[in-house]
Amino acid sequence: MANIGYLPRQDFAVERTRPADILIRSVLIAAVFLSLWVSFNPFPALDEPIPVTDVGNLVNQLGYSSLFVLLAAWNLLHQPQRLLLLVRPVLIATLCWFALSVATSWDPALSARRLAFALVIIGIAGMVLLVPKSPRHFADVLAVVVMIVLVACYLGVLLVPQLSIHQASDVLEPELAGDWRGVFGHKNEASASMVLFVFIGIFIARVRSLGIGAVIVALALPFLFFTHSKTPMAALPLALIVSIIMARAAKPANGVGVALSLLLVLNLLSIGSIYIPPIHALVEAIVPDATFTGRTDIWKFAVDHVLQRPITGYGFATFWGTEQVVYGMTGATWANTASHAHNGFVDLALTIGIPGSALVTLWLIVLPLFDYYRASDEPQSAALKMLFLRICLFAAYESCFETIFTQLGALWLILIAAAFGLRFLAVSRVSH
């Protein structure tokens, strides 16, 4: 992006006069984000049986691999050495730990395939940030993409409700009947995306158009409400409030401390309520459902199995839905058939061990908070870094009760892109 220091100023002056260059950049950015939110299988039917063991989605693999190749080709022609700015010790350590968890996995072949897919996602997340010419250009493309997704979601609800609203005939979770999901496969994906659209709308209002940004926010909030997803509804104001506190903090340590303290408190209220009686009593006193809609059973099941393999876990992105869990666990409960741990940090510990979970948290949550303070305070850069910060904060807080941002998929890519974005902004400022 122009004022992030990715390209020399004189190069921008020349390229700015080339409409073809802008078009190519815009198409690449739009292709990435449309593939994330609309996906390669929009409006999926949920009334069909789902196999116990996932052998991979060929359409997704081909789609994301194609995006990776296109972005790689573009970056090879536009100073690919800029990607080295992303290389930091924690990233190298995390990738090495991923590889270790594949080698020790109880299903190495499945973990290896998923790690290969994860590397493609990480590559896309880093490379796509180098494509926009400026934050304003980035805002322009995001505005178009987000409006397309929002219109598609609302049209889906109006025209094909059986494919955009959860139904009682859904094979999994028929109790979600009536909850809106739009083009997404689950209401949790839809609700998290709507929160991101609110953040993007605010960003667009600051750097491009107040009116367009306001329209995006006004469309995203009602859809978020009709997903009936409580966690994103609660995490949205938390992320907004903490981001404002961080922006006004006198010292970076104070701002980071507030953000991480709230993260600790939320995890104590969730996982801690199972094991610490005073916290359990507090939760019972302030929350109507102290089980957090049945999550405590899943948390107990997950933590018990984390303790059985605390160092390397069960294998990269390999636990839930496998035959070993569904059919092989002793003392089986309905938690065996859950699709995730409903806590991103515990879910990571299950698959890549406690050290792996700590590394990912450091890479995608903790260090980006410090990068926020190292980034430029120029008006457009300030708006961009605030967008990335809010994505990281929201992902952190929602991950105390869900795993949308820690499982392989579109929202994990967006979290990685936000962390990379803060890294780019911080390093670029230092280099000037």
Per-residue pLDDT of the chain (432 residues), as tens digits, is: 544 444 333 343 344 548 889 999 999 999 999 999 998 889 999 887 655 444 457 788 889 999 999 999 999 999 889 899 999 999 999 999 999 999 999 899 999 999 999 999 999 999 999 999 999 999 999 999 999 999 999 999 999 999 999 999 988 888 999 999 999 999 999 999 999 999 999 999 999 999 999 999 999 999 999 999 999 999 999 999 999 999 999 999 999 999 999 999 999 999 999 999 999 898 888 887 777 777 888 899 899 999 999 999 999 988 887 767 766 565 545 555 667 888 999 999 999 999 999 999 999 999 999 999 999 888 778 999 999 999 999 999 999 999 988 888 889 999 999 999 999 999 986 554
- Domain ranges within the chain, ordered by starting residue: 2-44+56-431
Cβ-in-10-Å burial (0-12, 13-18, 19+) of 315 comes to buried
| 415 conformational bin, left if phi > 0, alpha if psi -120 to 50, beta if neither | alpha
Distance between first and last Cα of the chain: 15
Is residue 93 helix, strand or coil?
helix
Is residue 319 helix, strand or coil?
strand
Given this model, what pLDDT does residue 323 score? Answer: 65
Which of 410, 409, 186, 184 is CA-nearest to residue 317?
409
Cα gap 237→62, rounded to integer Å: 37
Tokens representing residue 120 in the block: 């493609």
Given this model, what pLDDT does residue 334 score? Answer: 56
Given this model, what pLDDT does residue 377 score? Answer: 84
Cα gap 331→334, rounded to integer Å: 10
Side-chain-side CA neighbours of 144 within 13 Å: the count stands at 12
Cα gap 231→215, rounded to integer Å: 24
Cα gap 302→343, rounded to integer Å: 9
Tokens representing residue 164 in the block: 């955009």
Q: Considering Cα of 252, then 253, then 255, then 259, what sign does the dihedral take?
A: positive
Cα gap 258→262, rounded to integer Å: 6
Please state, in angstroms and as integers, the Cα–Cα distance from residue 15 to each residue in 21, 121, 424, following that order: 7, 28, 21
Cβ-in-10-Å burial (0-12, 13-18, 19+) of 209 comes to middle
Cα gap 26→382, rounded to integer Å: 22
Cα gap 29→121, rounded to integer Å: 14
Q: How many Cβ atoms from other residues are within 10 Å of residue 42's Cβ?
A: 18
Supply the pTM of this predicted model.
Answer: 0.92
Q: How many Cβ atoms from other residues are within 10 Å of residue 256's Cβ?
A: 17
Residues forming a β-bridge with 165: 180
Asked if residues 339 and 320 have their Cβ atoms less than 8 Å apart, the reply is: yes
